[in-house]
């Protein structure tokens, strides 16, 4: 598994996701946003969390039009894997690689806490190490994570099984309290039509070491490297 | 003498039905000042853009492209272009 992490001005979780990938056996290369090509042999392009371009205009709006994103789009069109975490999910939506948009959290607050997620399917390249309906313990840290799309898009995502993760309680129930940012249908992450692009707001890369409180995030990187 | 650029204003607003937490917070703040009669606040964005030349049709096309490509996210936002 060869992973290319795209670094934008204001990305700040690139080192963490690199660490999570390398400990799962992936080879990691960093790519600057102005680069027009991904390294030869790239299997996975990663858009890390952070605050690209200071969240100016809209979160992910300017990064979504960066030169490297043309290369990421071409990679995705060839069936290559793409993972966007937090700001990376916002960038995927702004770049048109995933539908919908991440709006300001419903209670207007930046939220930063541990979060239970329900794994909606375990038959993709991103989740094969997990079980369907498994509840995993990860972290969220965002101000704009409120997933929104028009009713037709939501119906299509649901009908095609493209919801990857949902905010749940520890037992896997979808409650209003567990869905702190107000996302439609408690959506925490979605796939592209061909299931090769995944965007999610929570940070699995935060929880890959016992030292920092949890290891449930490992499954995503181990699935990718498997 | 160099011609003065055309001045344009682009107004980006949230579509009807899209939740606007910031607008709600502003509305609550205004109400807390004792200002009565405010029934709703929606927050938007304004971009003042200068465009070289005097071809209004060309300017309109450029600005429309700017809105579609970057300035508005048409999933949730509408835009209006005014050229002075």
For tokens 């949890």, the residue is A214
Report pLDDT for B22. Answer: 87
> For chain A, how many structural domains are there in total?
1
Does the residue A226 lie in any domain? no
Three-state SS annotation for chain B: CCCCCEEEEEEEEECCCCCCHHHHHHHHHHHHCCCCCCCCCCCCEEEEEEECCCCHHHHHHHHHHHHHHHHCCCCCEEEEEEEC
Contact A190, A145 (CB under 8 A): no
Which of B18, B21, B76 lies at the smallest CB-CB distance from A108?
Answer: B21
Please name every residue paired with A137 in a beta bridge, in sequence order, or none if there are none: A116
Does the pLDDT at position A139 exceed 80? yes
- Structure confidence at residue A49 (pLDDT): 98
Any chain A CB within 8 A of the CB of B18? yes
Å from B66 to nearest chain A CA? 12
* Domain layout of chain B by residue ranges: 6-18+44-83
Q: Give catalytic status of residue A59 as yes or no.
A: no
Above 90 in pLDDT, residue B2? no
Contact residues on chain B for A148, CB-CB shorter than 8 A: 18-19, 75-76
What's A214's domain CATH number?
3.40.50.880
Interface confidence (ipTM) of the complex: 0.81
Up-side HSE of residue A42: CA atoms within 13 Å toward CB?
Answer: 26
Partner residue opposite A106 with nearest CB, options B19, B71, B73: B19
Q: What is the pLDDT of residues A21-57, one digit of tens each?
A: 999 999 999 999 999 999 999 999 999 999 999 999 9
Is pLDDT of A117 > 80? yes
Q: Is A203 a catalytic residue?
A: yes
Instruction: Find the mean pLDDT for residues B67-78.
Output: 96
What are the tens digits of pLDDT across the range B51-72?
999 999 999 999 999 999 999 9
pLDDT at B3: 73
pTM of the model: 0.93
Q: Answer whether residue A108 shows pLDDT above 90.
A: no
The whole domain housing A184 covers 2-221
CATH topology of domain B6-18+44-83: Mth169; Chain: A , (3.30.1280)
Distance from CA of B68 to the nearest CA of A (A): 12
Record: contact B22-A104, CB cut-off 8 A: yes
Q: What is the pLDDT of residues B21-44, one digit of tens each?
A: 889 889 999 999 988 899 999 999
Q: Encoding tokens for residue A214?
A: 């949890």
């Amino acid at each position: 598994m060869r992973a290319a992490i795209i670094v934008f001005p204001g990305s700040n979780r690139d080192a963490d996701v690199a660490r999570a990938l390398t400990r799962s056996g992936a080879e990691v290369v960093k790519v600057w946003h102005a680069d027009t090509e991904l390294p030869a042999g790239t299997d996975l392009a990663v858009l890390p969390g952070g605050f690209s371009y200071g969240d100016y205009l809209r979160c992910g709006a300017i990064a979504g039009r960066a030169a490297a994103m043309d290369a990421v789009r071409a990679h995705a069109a060839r069936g290559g894997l793409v993972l966007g975490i937090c700001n990376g999910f916002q960038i995927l939506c702004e770049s048109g690689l995933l539908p919908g948009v991440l709006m300001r959290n419903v209670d207007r607050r930046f939220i930063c806490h541990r979060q239970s997620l329900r794994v909606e399917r375990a038959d993709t390249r991103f989740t094969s190490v997990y079980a369907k309906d498994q509840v995993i313990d990860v972290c969220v840290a965002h101000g704009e994570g409120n997933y929104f799309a028009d009713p037709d898009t939501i119906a299509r995502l649901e009908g095609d099984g493209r919801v990857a993760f949902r905010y749940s309680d520890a037992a896997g129930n979808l409650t209003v309290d567990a869905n702190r940012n107000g996302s439609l249908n408690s959506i925490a992450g979605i796939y592209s039509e061909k299931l090769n692009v995944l965007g999610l707001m929570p940070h699995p890369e935060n929880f890959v070491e016992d030292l920092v409180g949890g290891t449930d995030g490992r499954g995503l990187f181990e699935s990718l490297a498997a | 003498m160099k011609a003065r650029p055309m001045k344009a204003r682009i107004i980006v607003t949230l579509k009807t039905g899209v939740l606007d937490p910031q607008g709600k917070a502003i509305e609550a703040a205004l109400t807390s000042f004792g200002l009565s009669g405010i029934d709703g606040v929606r927050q938007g964005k304004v971009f003042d853009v200068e465009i070289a030349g005097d071809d209004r049709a060309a300017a309109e096309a450029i600005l429309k492209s700017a809105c579609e490509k970057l300035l508005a996210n048409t999933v949730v936002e509408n835009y209006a272009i005014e050229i002075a």
